[in-house]
């Protein structure tokens, strides 16, 4: 969905609680989400409508946007919109899909509205990484995309994601730095210690922070999550960034002009509905 026509949030809430209370629609975080979920849900026999959350203008809320939510975060916009609609219309058929992301480690998932649907994994991108799709991509796109490479990249991306968990738990914003220089090639091992050291040194230029304590806190988070499948909390953008860096290192001529967005498109359009039809989220979508 491009060239979105936006409507003020108060009008959207009024539309689905007063004017069209029986309307059935699913809000998603962005364009890729819209393309992926609408395509496969339709293939599964459900023609329910989808809409990007950016079609809703939240600027009129001002200071009334809940402090516990992030105003510029599309996931939190969906959470707020669905809760407000559901409060005014208990029989609401307006749903939202959000990435499970790091929510399990930074918030109480039980507080989410029942009309909020979570991805089965940390993010949308992990649906592209099932065994069937990787085998297909290995044969049709690049023989460098093996399951072993994907698994190693998942672990590397998950380690970088730990910093985001630390940020949210401490209610701070740490400027992002490029991940590529911290990925050891060709082994695809992430230099976690150097990465967090430089992250905090960079942050300390403007903010007061106890470097050693912060590093210890991050290592404690790392220890807790070591037994968790990295696909359950990794950041999808980090995954694509690191995978593209690896691909350019092993086949520069082939991938020199490939962008991160293009690589994600390749993965997404390769997915066949049969590959994901038994995932819990899609079993719920066909019942809406």
Asked if pLDDT for residue 2 goes beyond 60, the answer is no
Residue 119 sits in the same domain as residue 147:
no
Query: Looking at the domain assignment, is residue 259 inside a domain?
Result: yes
Residue 138 sits in the same domain as residue 253:
yes
Query: Looking at the domain assignment, is residue 116 inside a domain?
Result: yes
Could you tell me the residue range of the domain that residue 242 belongs to? Answer: 131-270
Residue 30 sits in the same domain as residue 112:
yes
Preceding peptide of 2 cis, ω within 30°? no
Asked if pLDDT for residue 63 goes beyond 70, the answer is no
Cα–Cα distance between 153 and 189 in angstroms, integer? 8
Query: Looking at the domain assignment, is residue 2 inside a domain?
Result: no
Residue 213 sits in the same domain as residue 281:
no
Q: In total, how many domains does the chain have?
A: 2
Residue-level pLDDT at 228? 94
Per-residue CA distances from 261 to 178, 264, 267 (Å): 16, 5, 10
- % of the chain surpassing 90 pLDDT: 81
Residue 40 sits in the same domain as residue 157:
no
Residue 160 sits in the same domain as residue 116:
no
* Residue spans of alpha helices (H) in the chain: 9-14, 31-43, 74-88, 103-106, 131-140, 147-170, 192-204, 211-225, 236-250, 252-255, 260-270, 273-276, 280-285
Position with higher pLDDT, 59 vs 140: 140
* pLDDT band at residue 172 under the 50/70/90 scheme: confident
Residue 253 sits in the same domain as residue 139:
yes
Query: Looking at the domain assignment, is residue 248 inside a domain?
Result: yes
Residue 166 sits in the same domain as residue 63:
no
Which tens digit of pLDDT belongs to each residue from 67-121? 777 778 999 999 999 999 999 999 999 999 999 988 888 888 888 999 999 999 9
Contacting residues for 240 by C-beta, under 8 A, at least 6 apart = 125, 260, 263, 264
What is the arithmetic mean of pLDDT over 158-171? 93
Question: Judging by DSSP bridges, how do beta strands 56-57 and 7-8 pair with one another?
Answer: parallel
Query: Looking at the domain assignment, is residue 20 inside a domain?
Result: yes
Residue 59 sits in the same domain as residue 166:
no
What is the arithmetic mean of pLDDT over 197-215? 81
* pLDDT band at residue 26 under the 50/70/90 scheme: very high
Bridge partners, residue 27, by sequence: 51, 96
Query: Looking at the domain assignment, is residue 13 inside a domain?
Result: yes
Which one-letter DSSP state was computed for residue 60? Answer: G
Residue 194 sits in the same domain as residue 139:
yes
Nearest to 190 by CA among 202, 180, 201, 200: 180
- % of the chain surpassing 70 pLDDT: 97
Question: Which of these ranges, 198-202, 206-210, 252-256, 269-273, has the smallest mean pLDDT?
Answer: 206-210
Cα–Cα distance between 284 and 288 in angstroms, integer? 7
Give first-to-last CA distance, the chain, whole Å.
Answer: 21
Cα–Cα distance between 44 and 55 in angstroms, integer? 25
Query: Looking at the domain assignment, is residue 107 inside a domain?
Result: yes
Which one-letter DSSP state was computed for residue 238? Answer: H
Residue 266 sits in the same domain as residue 170:
yes
Query: Looking at the domain assignment, is residue 1 inside a domain?
Result: no
* Token digits of residue 191: 């230099």
Residue 79 sits in the same domain as residue 192:
no
Which tens digit of pLDDT belongs to each residue from 174-196? 888 999 999 999 999 999 999 99
Asked if pLDDT for residue 163 goes beyond 50, the answer is yes
* pLDDT band at residue 1 under the 50/70/90 scheme: very low
């Amino acid at each position: 969905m491009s060239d979105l026509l936006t409507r003020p949030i108060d009008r959207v809430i009024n539309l689905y609680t007063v004017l069209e209370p029986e309307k059935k629609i699913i809000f998603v975080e962005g364009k890729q989400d819209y393309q992926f979920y609408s395509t496969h849900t339709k293939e599964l026999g459900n023609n329910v409508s989808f809409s990007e959350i950016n079609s809703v203008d939240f600027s009129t809320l001002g200071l009334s946007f809940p402090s516990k939510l992030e105003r510029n975060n599309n996931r939190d916009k969906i959470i707020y919109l669905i809760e407000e609609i559901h409060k005014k219309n208990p029989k609401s058929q307006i749903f939202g899909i959000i990435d499970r992301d790091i929510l399990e480690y930074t918030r109480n998932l039980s507080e989410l509205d029942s009309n909020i649907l979570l991805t089965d994994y940390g993010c949308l991108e992990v649906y592209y990484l099932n065994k069937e799709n990787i085998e297909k991509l290995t044969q049709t796109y690049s023989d460098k995309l093996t399951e072993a490479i994907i698994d190693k990249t998942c672990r590397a991306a998950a380690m970088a994601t730990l910093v985001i968990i630390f940020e949210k738990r401490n209610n701070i914003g740490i400027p992002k730095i490029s991940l590529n220089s911290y990925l050891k090639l060709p082994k695809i091992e992430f230099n976690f210690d150097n990465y967090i050291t430089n992250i905090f040194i960079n942050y300390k230029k403007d903010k007061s922070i106890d470097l050693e304590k912060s590093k210890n806190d991050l290592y404690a988070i790392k220890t807790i999550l070591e037994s968790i499948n990295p696909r359950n909390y990794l950041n999808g953008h980090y995954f694509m960034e690191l995978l593209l860096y690896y691909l350019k290192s092993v086949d520069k001529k082939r991938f020199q002009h490939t962008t991160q967005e293009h690589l994600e498109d390749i993965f997404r359009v390769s997915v066949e509905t049969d590959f994901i039809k038994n995932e819990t989220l899609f079993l719920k979508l066909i019942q809406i």
